[in-house]
Amino acid sequence: MKVMLVNAPLVAGKKQKFTLQPLGILYIAGVLRQNGYEPELIDCNITDYTLEDVADLIIRKKPDIVGISVMTPQIINALKIAKMVKGRDNGIKICMGGPHISSTGAEVFDFSNDVDFLIRGEGEFKFLQLVKNLNGDHSDVKGLVYRDADGKVRINELGEAITELDNLPFPDFAAFDIDAYKSPYVERYPMVPLIASRGCPFNCSFCDAYRTHGRVTRKRSPKNVVDEIEHNIKRFGVGHVAIKDSTFILDKKWVGEICDEIIRRGLKIKWNCNSRVDSLDAEILDKVKKAGCVMLGLGVESGSQTVLDNIHKRTTLQQIRETFKLIKNVGLKTYAFLMIGNPGDSPANVRKTIDFAKELDPDIVAFSVTEAYPGTEVYEWALKNNVLSDPHWYMQEVDTFIGVSPSSACLDYPDLTKEQQQMLVKCAYREFLLRPGYIFKKLAQIKNVGQIKDLVAAGLEIIRKS
């Protein structure tokens, strides 16, 4: 049985300047290897492969099944690859999974006859079961969506989430060129991502992560997490770990035990993670800093309390101010995420958001137009309130770029049109990044030539779109 796993391209034929290894297909590959398979992997986002190049590669390798990981902005390119492959070799089975499939279920079959299987939810063991029964009965494969012999769409029971995360093999980063992955905030390469927990108990209206991992948080043991860090340091010489949990610092006792284990082993590692402003205190910040944490990502979202309440953020502007001050006093960097166009936004509230970002003065900022992703509360709200022009906007051609949303995904208000929102994102970047104080701060933080290159690349990409 020959298996290929593909991370579909965001932009066909273009390498992404800043990206992380695709943990989804890496975890699936690890489980397949544990069971005697040797999958081949392609991450299209670190290559300049055209869609034709990807299809040609699949055809040449002639796998029995191709698994394609798909986020919503990748779905069109994924379906184009599937069509090209099926047009030349109908014997290759194609399965799609990932966040978009978890959110939309069988919908892909309405747009394509070139996909054989869809997998909802966590895919490691579901895909393994499908591979084992590829030419047999599929009715027992949890989370599987497929057409039966009569052409009828069958939607199997979703199945339980994986509870024993320690049993999953570590992602093998040898599958890709580890030096191809870059970030504007990393001081020491190579860099790899890590997931220490799955599931998020919060219900922010714009987020679809719960569709894949659920709302119940499941955590790996501190020893298992640090074992992976140490393994990657010894095998790959990793200098930085990007912890990608939705909210890593939530259970402070657990995080503290991870930090204690890093310190006890004397691991020389830099890392960053995501948190909420209402889950931090001086004690845990001191602890993570001693263990190598250099930066926290924080979902600020808006400078309007009305908007924060509308999106169920469960935070206040004063909490945000106090937390940013606390983090700076400890000596950690901040990465703030802000959105324009959520329910309740207006030109006046957008101005508050831009001014609030400048007041907080994070080390890195990401402004984005709110995108109504399928599976989110804001998507349903937008359809109900007639502020989303096309419920299937993601099936249109898009130019994906961090911070600039495809206009068809925006919520279009009478007093804040989608065109205005895009313009305001560009305005926000210019106002924030071109402040003399911010420029001097960034220059002072540079520690090596590599950082200069990454910062210039990030700046040029933002300027190009602004």
Q: Dig out the tokens for 341 from the structure.
A: 């166009």
Mark whether 361 and 214 lie in a shared domain: yes
3-state secondary structure of 276: coil
Mark whether 361 and 273 lie in a shared domain: yes
Do the domain assignments include residue 165?
Answer: no
Distance in angstroms (rounded) separating the CA atoms of residues 130 and 144? 8
Do 341 and 411 contact (CB within 8 A), yes or no? yes
Mark whether 327 and 448 lie in a shared domain: yes
> Which of residues 117, 140, 155 is at a domain's end?
155
Do the domain assignments include residue 280?
Answer: yes
Do the domain assignments include residue 173?
Answer: no
Mark whether 100 and 229 lie in a shared domain: no
Mark whether 121 and 198 lie in a shared domain: no
Do 287 and 259 contact (CB within 8 A), yes or no? yes
pLDDT over threshold 90, residue 376: yes
Percent of the chain with pLDDT over 90: 89
State the DSSP string of 356-368: HHHHH--SEEEEE
Do 127 and 98 contact (CB within 8 A), yes or no? no
pLDDT over threshold 70, residue 398: no
pLDDT band at 448 (very low <50, low <70, confident <90, very high): confident
Q: Which domain holds residue 26?
A: 3-155
Residue-wise pLDDT for 344-368, tens only, equals 999 999 999 999 999 999 999 999 9
Question: What integer pLDDT is reported at residue 403 of this predicted model?
Answer: 37
> Which of residues 155, 190, 222 is at a domain's end?
155
Provide the domain count of the chain: 2
Mark whether 40 and 89 lie in a shared domain: yes
Mark whether 208 and 96 lie in a shared domain: no
Provide the CATH number for the domain around residue 315. Answer: 3.20.20.70
pLDDT band at 458 (very low <50, low <70, confident <90, very high): low
pLDDT over threshold 80, residue 329: yes
Mark whether 39 and 107 lie in a shared domain: yes
Percent of the chain with pLDDT over 70: 94
Between the two ends of the chain, the Cα-to-Cα distance in Å is 48
Distance in angstroms (rounded) separating the CA atoms of residues 210 and 317? 25
Distance in angstroms (rounded) separating the CA atoms of residues 95 and 116? 6
pLDDT band at 446 (very low <50, low <70, confident <90, very high): confident
Mark whether 232 and 268 lie in a shared domain: yes
Do the domain assignments include residue 351?
Answer: yes
Do the domain assignments include residue 161?
Answer: no
Residue-wise pLDDT for 44-101, tens only, equals 999 999 999 999 999 999 999 999 999 999 999 999 999 999 999 999 999 999 999 9
Provide the CATH number for the domain around residue 23. Answer: 3.40.50.280
Question: What integer pLDDT is reported at residue 461 of this predicted model?
Answer: 63
Mark whether 83 and 200 lie in a shared domain: no
Instruction: List the one residue out of 256, 253, 228 whose CA is nearest residue 242.
Output: 228
pLDDT band at 185 (very low <50, low <70, confident <90, very high): confident
Mark whether 328 and 412 lie in a shared domain: yes
Longest CA span, the chain: 66
pLDDT over threshold 50, residue 402: no
State the DSSP string of 355-406: HHHHHH--SEEEEEE----TTSHHHHHHHHTT--S-TTGGGS----BTTB--
Residue-wise pLDDT for 205-247, tens only, equals 999 999 999 999 999 999 999 999 999 999 999 999 999 999 9
Distance in angstroms (rounded) separating the CA atoms of residues 379 and 384? 9
3-state secondary structure of 4: strand
Mark whether 308 and 434 lie in a shared domain: yes
> Which of residues 139, 155, 171 is at a domain's end?
155
pLDDT over threshold 60, residue 20: yes
3-state class percentages of the chain: helix first, strand second, coil last, to nearest 5: 45, 15, 40
Question: What integer pLDDT is reported at residue 401 of this predicted model?
Answer: 42
Q: Dig out the tokens for 377 from the structure.
A: 């509360």
Quick one: 367 exposed, middle or buried, by C-beta within 10 A (0-12, 13-18, 19+)? buried
Instruction: Provide the pairing of β-strand 197-198 with 218-219.
Output: antiparallel
Residue-wise pLDDT for 263-274, tens only, equals 999 999 999 999
Question: What integer pLDDT is reported at residue 465 of this predicted model?
Answer: 54
Average pLDDT over residues 126-149: 95
Q: Dig out the tokens for 289 from the structure.
A: 């800093």
Do the domain assignments include residue 391?
Answer: yes
Do the domain assignments include residue 212?
Answer: yes
Do the domain assignments include residue 286?
Answer: yes
What Å distances lie between residue 258 and 23, 225, 274, CA to CA?
21, 7, 15
Helix axes 317-330, 347-360, angle to 10 degrees: 20
Identify the bridge partners of residue 336 per DSSP, sorted by sequence position: 298, 365
